[in-house]
């Protein structure tokens, strides 16, 4: 046996063994047997159309995100102005796109204009209005370009936060992508509890720590009458029978601290075996929390999540160590979900469920059965035809065709790709291309045999003439598949993945592996006739 042939056989055997190792765990009766201990754990993930699950279209309230950012900009402007000795009253957001503030001294108008132009250039300044007592009212808004930037940023942040939450929730192979009009498409294959997932995805999880005004009149607060700088918020409590009740507390409008400092969130249990959510702050958050609790010892601190108070414990003493907790008689599941959303970060704006569709597993199983049946029938017919028409060559083509399927399955499992219904179509298409490549080679060999060459010479010449043609055609298709993957979505991407894997496997088996089988046949003894 020639030295080059030995190396080719070794490479082919190595690739075949690796392919089997990654493909076999996806076969049900092998994946559930004792062999799974020695095989890789990677299995082929089925897409939403095959496995069933939930499909969501979410709308991001970017106007709310811009409004929140505008309010924060107002606070920043006030802080910077104070450092510059410019006195302005508390800025407030009017509507959702105007920031109104009052300059206390009219003679500081020039200084404030200069400050806004230099440090807040993304704000447009309408003509200031003179007021009584020498005050000046400013009305500011974001530039059109900056609003667009904030809207795009809010969408990107929402996608990232939702992806983090879904990953921690444990859904395998979620498909989360941006769409037009600030929408997000979410596909969750194999999900058994869609309502719980929707609750996790949709929770804004804006966490604040606010000081409670205990001497406020609660009855007036219920009617919306609260002192300036305060607001009334509902406090949610879970009753022993599982129902919820609400009371009202009056808290400061400005948060003493927000959830941006949360480094970790986890579920823990008190000595009554009641679930609560423990929080760990980062270094700056720990210092800030220590300062706040030290300054307000003896007062109640409300822990506010998405505008609702979950607990309002009394601060007994300065709290060091950067730890806090949220208690609210949570069930273990509620505490776990709350920890997930806090750990994954808050959404920059509320998201609304615009569309919800459930794909039943029965439909997925039906699709799988139909796809597998079609592939089996088509494959068997093609294999029989190849043997009848090409004889020994057909046997070789069938062997490499089986290897082709194994390598595609192994590629899907090893690279963590998701198999969808269009993906099955891509596999069938590439199998057809693999057969076509073999036909191209066999016809070239037949031509050489008709010219009177020996079988070995005809095989060599046939492969030399067909290889470049096969390579050109497959590379063109591969480039198309890459473009489909880059610019396509969902099912189109699934099709592109299997098409790409199929083309690579097809070239390897049709050009490299089948040649090995022909060379082995020709090298065993002096051949005078080739059945092809």
The pLDDT tens digits for 457-500 are 888 888 988 888 888 888 888 898 888 888 776 667 778 888 89
CATH of the domain at 376: 1.20.1640.10
For 429: left if phi > 0, alpha if psi spans -120 to 50, otherwise beta; the answer is alpha
Please indicate, yes or no, if residue 187 is contained in any of the structural domains: no
387 and 499 within one domain: yes
Q: How many domains does the chain contain in total?
A: 3
* Consecutive H or E run containing 478: helix 455-487
519 and 372 within one domain: yes
Report whether 185 contacts 177 (CB < 8 A): yes
The pLDDT tens digits for 333-352 are 777 777 777 777 777 777 88
428 and 378 within one domain: yes
125 and 40 within one domain: no
Residue 474, CB-side half-sphere exposure with 13 Å CA sphere: 29
Which of 332, 358, 384 is the last residue in one of the domains? Answer: 358
Report whether 135 contacts 106 (CB < 8 A): yes
112 and 48 within one domain: no
Q: SS in 3 state form for 391-448?
A: CHHHHHHHHHHHHHHHHHHHHHHHCCCEECHHHHHHHHHHHHHHHHHHHHHHHHHHHH
The model's confidence at residue 172, banded by pLDDT at 50, 70 and 90, is low
Q: Is residue 17's pLDDT more than 90?
A: yes
pTM: 0.60
Q: What is the CA radius of gyration of the chain?
A: 34
The model's confidence at residue 367, banded by pLDDT at 50, 70 and 90, is low
Which of 337, 358, 379 is the last residue in one of the domains? Answer: 358
242 and 137 within one domain: no
The pLDDT tens digits for 372-422 are 787 788 888 888 998 999 888 899 999 999 999 899 999 988 887 778 778
Question: What is the average pLDDT across 78-82?
Answer: 84
Structure token pair of residue 113: 């204009």
SS3 category, 486? helix
The model's confidence at residue 14, banded by pLDDT at 50, 70 and 90, is very high
Which of 334, 358, 382 is the last residue in one of the domains? Answer: 358
Burial class, 518, CB count within 10 angstroms (exposed 0-12 / middle 13-18 / buried 19+): buried
CATH of the domain at 245: 3.30.1360.200
Task: Report how far residue 189's alpha carbon sits from residue 173's, in angstroms, rounded to the nearest whole number.
Answer: 7
Please indicate, yes or no, if residue 218 is contained in any of the structural domains: yes
376 and 488 within one domain: yes
* Consecutive H or E run containing 367: helix 361-390
Looking at residue 449, the DSSP 8-state letter turns out to be H
Please indicate, yes or no, if residue 76 is contained in any of the structural domains: yes
366 and 352 within one domain: no
483 and 382 within one domain: yes
Question: Which range of residues forms the domain containing residue 99?
Answer: 63-145
* DSSP per position, 83-116: HTT--BPPPEEETTTEEEEEES-GGGHHHHHHHH
383 and 432 within one domain: yes
381 and 326 within one domain: no
Task: Report how far residue 440's alpha carbon sits from residue 432's, in angstroms, rounded to the nearest whole number.
Answer: 12
């Amino acid at each position: 046996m020639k030295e080059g042939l030995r190396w080719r056989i070794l490479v082919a055997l190595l690739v075949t063994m690796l392919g089997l190792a990654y493909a076999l765990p996806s076969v049900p009766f092998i994946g559930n047997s004792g062999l799974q201990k020695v095989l890789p754990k990677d299995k082929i993930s089925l897409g939403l159309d095959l496995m069933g699950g939930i499909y969501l279209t979410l709308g991001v309230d970017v106007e709310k995100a811009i409004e929140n950012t505008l309010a924060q900009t107002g606070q920043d402007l006030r802080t910077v102005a104070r450092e510059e000795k410019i006195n302005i009253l508390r800025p407030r957001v009017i509507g959702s796109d105007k920031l109104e503030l009052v300059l206390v001294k009219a003679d500081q108008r020039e200084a404030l204009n200069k400050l806004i132009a230099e440090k807040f250039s993304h704000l447009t300044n309408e003509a200031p209005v003179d007021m009584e007592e020498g005050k000046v009212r400013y009305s500011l808004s974001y530039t059109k370009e900056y609003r667009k930037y904030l809207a795009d940023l809010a969408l990107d942040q929402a996608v990232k936060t939702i992806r983090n939450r879904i990953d921690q929730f444990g859904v395998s192979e979620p498909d989360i992508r941006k769409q037009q009009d600030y929408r997000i498409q979410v596909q969750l294959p194999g999900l058994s509890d869609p309502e719980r997932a929707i609750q996790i995805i949709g929770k804004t999880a804006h966490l604040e720590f606010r000081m409670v005004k205990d001497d406020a009149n609660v009855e007036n607060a219920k009617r919306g009458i609260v002192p300036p700088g305060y607001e009334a918020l509902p406090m949610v409590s879970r009753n022993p029978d599982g129902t919820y009740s609400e009371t009202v507390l009056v808290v400061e409008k400005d948060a003493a601290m927000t959830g941006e400092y949360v480094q970790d969130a986890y579920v823990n249990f008190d000595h009554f075996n009641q679930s609560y959510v423990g929080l760990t702050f980062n270094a700056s958050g720990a210092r800030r929390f220590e300062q706040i609790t030290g300054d307000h010892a003896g007062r109640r601190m409300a822990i506010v999540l998405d505008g609702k108070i979950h607990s309002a414990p009394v601060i007994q003493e300065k709290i060091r160590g950067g730890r806090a907790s949220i208690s609210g008689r949570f069930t273990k599941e509620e505490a776990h979900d709350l920890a997930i959303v806090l750990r994954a970060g808050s959404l920059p704006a509320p998201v609304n469920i615009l569309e919800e569709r459930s794909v039943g597993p029965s439909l997925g199983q039906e699709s799988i059965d139909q796809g597998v049946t079609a592939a089996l029938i088509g494959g068997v017919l093609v294999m029989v035809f190849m043997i009848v028409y090409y004889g020994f060559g057909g046997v070789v083509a069938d062997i490499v065709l089986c290897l082709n399927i194994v390598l595609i399955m192994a590629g899907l499992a090893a690279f963590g790709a998701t198999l969808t219904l269009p993906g099955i179509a891509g596999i069938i298409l590439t199998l057809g291309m693999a057969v076509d490549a073999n036909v191209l080679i066999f016809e070239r060999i037949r031509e050489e045999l008709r010219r009177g060459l020996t079988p070995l010479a005809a095989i060599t010449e046939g492969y030399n003439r067909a290889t470049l043609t096969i390579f050109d055609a497959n590379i063109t298709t591969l480039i198309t598949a890459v473009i489909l993957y880059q610019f396509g979505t969902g099912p189109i991407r699934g099709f592109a993945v299997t098409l790409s894997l199929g083309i690579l496997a097809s070239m390897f088996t049709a050009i490299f592996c089948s040649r090995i089988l022909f060379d082995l046949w020709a090298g065993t003894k002096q051949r005078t006739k080739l059945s092809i």
